[in-house]
Chain A
Amino acid sequence: QVQLVESGGGVVQPGRSLRLSCAASGFTFSTYGMHWVRQAPGKGLEWVALISYDGSNKYYADSVKGRFTISRDNSKNTLYLQMNSLRAEDTALYYCAKASLDPQYMDVWGKGTTVTVSS
């Protein structure tokens, strides 16, 4: 079955960088788009970014555009989120999610990795 395992979260100071990873298994990774979604403590879900199946198209929420970069390595079945210039408001649980046949939507989610931005 589809499995998504996020890693790379931690505590980081404001202005610093962090890279999240999402290891995928149980499906043909290279044929599906992938999403990142985050959830601040006690808050709702926020869509962060989408990457197409081959990495050629990338889309970002306004709140992270210019600071975050989504990428993928289809040879390693791994999705990434490079987060630069981190802010306190980026503190959240970050989920990766597999896109459905329509890549704008997601179906299966990982369990998430926690990012805390604090001095």
Chain B
Amino acid sequence: SYELTQPSSVSVSPGQTARITCSGDVLAKKSARWFQQKPGQAPVLVIYKDSERPSGIPERFSGSSSGTTVTLTISGAQVEDDADYYCYSAADNNLGVFGGGTKLTVL
């Protein structure tokens, strides 16, 4: 089996930079996605292929990768960014895996 490990919580004040990490051996070979989930809503893709941003996602969201760790960075976090964030990747056997999720608090 394989796992992705995220911190359970991150807290920043509005305007500060939030960084959420995701670690796992699979990330050395496969790219990651990041999803944002607000209470009562379905997840939304905010970063794909480690660092690409889908259309409609604010520029303050960015991603990076180094070895077995990927990082989601929110530069100048806003109150509306308060949400759960999940990393996701897939192994060579086509089985998917999510990180445990990180609760980002912005206040």
Contact = CB atoms under 8 A, between A and B. Distances in A.
Interface of A: 35, 37, 44-47, 50, 57, 59-62, 95, 100, 104-112
Main secondary structure of the interface of A (DSSP, over half): strand
Contacts of B44: 109
Contact of A45 (B1, B35, B90, B94): B35
Interface string B47-81: 01000001000000000000000000000000000
B42 A35 contact: no
Contacts of A105: 31, 33, 48, 88, 90
A105 B33 CA distance: 8
Contacts of B7: none
Given A44-B100, A45-B86, A45-B101, A61 B95 contact: yes
A53 to B, nearest CB: 13
B83 interface: no
Interface residues of B, number: 26
B15 interface: no
Interface string B79-107: 00000101010100111111111000000
A50 B94 contact: yes
Contacts of B94: 50, 57, 59, 104
Contact of B54 (A45, A107, A112): A107
A100 to B, nearest CB: 7
10 contacts: A44-B99, A45-B86, A45-B101, A59-B93, A61-B96, A105-B33, A105-B48, A105-B90, A106-B88, A109-B43
Given A105-B88, A106-B33, 12 more contacts: A45-B43, A45-B88, A45-B101, A47-B88, A57-B94, A61-B95, A95-B42, A105-B31, A107-B54, A110-B42, A111-B41, A112-B42
